[in-house]
Amino acid sequence: MKEKDKIRLQKIGANLLRIRTDKGYTQEELSYNSDVDRSKISKIESGQANLVVTTLLDLAEGLGVDPTELLDLSNKGKPKK
Protein backbone atom coordinates (compact mmCIF):
# COMPACT_ATOMS: atom_id res chain seq x y z
CA MET A 1 0.00 0.00 0.00
CA LYS A 2 1.26 3.47 -0.84
CA GLU A 3 2.26 5.72 2.05
CA LYS A 4 -0.30 8.36 1.07
CA ASP A 5 -3.03 5.71 1.21
CA LYS A 6 -1.91 4.67 4.70
CA ILE A 7 -2.12 8.30 5.82
CA ARG A 8 -5.60 8.64 4.35
CA LEU A 9 -6.81 5.52 6.15
CA GLN A 10 -5.30 6.79 9.41
CA LYS A 11 -7.14 10.10 9.02
CA ILE A 12 -10.45 8.39 8.27
CA GLY A 13 -9.90 6.13 11.28
CA ALA A 14 -9.12 9.13 13.47
CA ASN A 15 -12.31 10.81 12.24
CA LEU A 16 -14.34 7.72 13.08
CA LEU A 17 -12.81 7.50 16.55
CA ARG A 18 -13.31 11.22 17.26
CA ILE A 19 -16.92 11.28 16.10
CA ARG A 20 -17.77 8.03 17.88
CA THR A 21 -16.31 9.19 21.20
CA ASP A 22 -17.82 12.69 20.84
CA LYS A 23 -21.21 11.00 20.55
CA GLY A 24 -20.48 8.81 23.56
CA TYR A 25 -20.69 5.50 21.70
CA THR A 26 -18.61 2.45 22.46
CA GLN A 27 -17.37 0.36 19.55
CA GLU A 28 -19.97 -2.24 20.53
CA GLU A 29 -22.79 0.33 20.39
CA LEU A 30 -21.64 1.59 17.01
CA SER A 31 -21.40 -1.99 15.81
CA TYR A 32 -25.02 -2.54 16.80
CA ASN A 33 -26.18 0.76 15.23
CA SER A 34 -24.29 0.29 11.97
CA ASP A 35 -24.27 -3.51 11.55
CA VAL A 36 -20.47 -3.37 11.15
CA ASP A 37 -18.46 -5.87 13.19
CA ARG A 38 -16.77 -4.37 16.26
CA SER A 39 -13.39 -5.81 15.29
CA LYS A 40 -13.70 -4.13 11.87
CA ILE A 41 -14.46 -0.81 13.58
CA SER A 42 -11.37 -1.24 15.76
CA LYS A 43 -9.19 -1.93 12.72
CA ILE A 44 -10.61 1.07 10.83
CA GLU A 45 -10.07 3.39 13.81
CA SER A 46 -6.45 2.29 14.08
CA GLY A 47 -5.86 2.77 10.34
CA GLN A 48 -5.23 -0.94 9.82
CA ALA A 49 -8.16 -1.71 7.54
CA ASN A 50 -9.27 -0.52 4.18
CA LEU A 51 -12.99 0.03 3.93
CA VAL A 52 -15.51 -0.19 1.15
CA VAL A 53 -18.04 2.53 0.44
CA THR A 54 -20.94 0.52 1.84
CA THR A 55 -19.13 0.11 5.17
CA LEU A 56 -18.40 3.84 5.25
CA LEU A 57 -22.07 4.58 4.59
CA ASP A 58 -23.19 2.11 7.27
CA LEU A 59 -20.86 3.71 9.83
CA ALA A 60 -22.00 7.23 8.95
CA GLU A 61 -25.63 6.15 9.27
CA GLY A 62 -24.93 4.45 12.60
CA LEU A 63 -23.34 7.66 13.87
CA GLY A 64 -26.03 9.92 12.40
CA VAL A 65 -23.51 11.97 10.41
CA ASP A 66 -22.92 12.78 6.76
CA PRO A 67 -20.35 10.40 5.22
CA THR A 68 -18.20 13.38 4.26
CA GLU A 69 -17.43 13.90 7.96
CA LEU A 70 -15.66 10.54 7.99
CA LEU A 71 -13.84 11.36 4.75
CA ASP A 72 -12.52 14.75 5.93
CA LEU A 73 -8.77 14.58 5.27
CA SER A 74 -7.94 17.94 6.86
CA ASN A 75 -5.72 18.03 9.92
CA LYS A 76 -8.58 18.10 12.45
CA GLY A 77 -8.80 14.31 12.16
CA LYS A 78 -5.02 13.92 12.15
CA PRO A 79 -3.89 10.79 13.96
CA LYS A 80 -1.76 11.25 17.08
CA LYS A 81 1.81 9.98 16.96
- Domain presence at residue 77: no
pLDDT, tens digit (0-9, with 9 covering 90-100), for 1-11: 899 999 999 99
| Mean pLDDT computed over 2-21 | 96
- Please report which residue ranges of the chain form alpha helices under DSSP H: 3-22, 27-34, 38-45, 53-63, 67-71
Looking at residue 22, its amino acid is: D
Q: Confidence class of residue 31 from pLDDT cuts 50, 70 and 90?
A: very high
Which CATH number fits the domain that encloses residue 20? 1.10.260.40
pLDDT, tens digit (0-9, with 9 covering 90-100), for 36-78: 999 999 999 999 999 999 999 999 999 999 999 999 998 654 4
Task: List the domain range (segments joined by +) for residue 51.
Answer: 3-70
- Domain presence at residue 34: yes
- d(Cα 76, Cα 15) in Å, to the nearest integer? 8
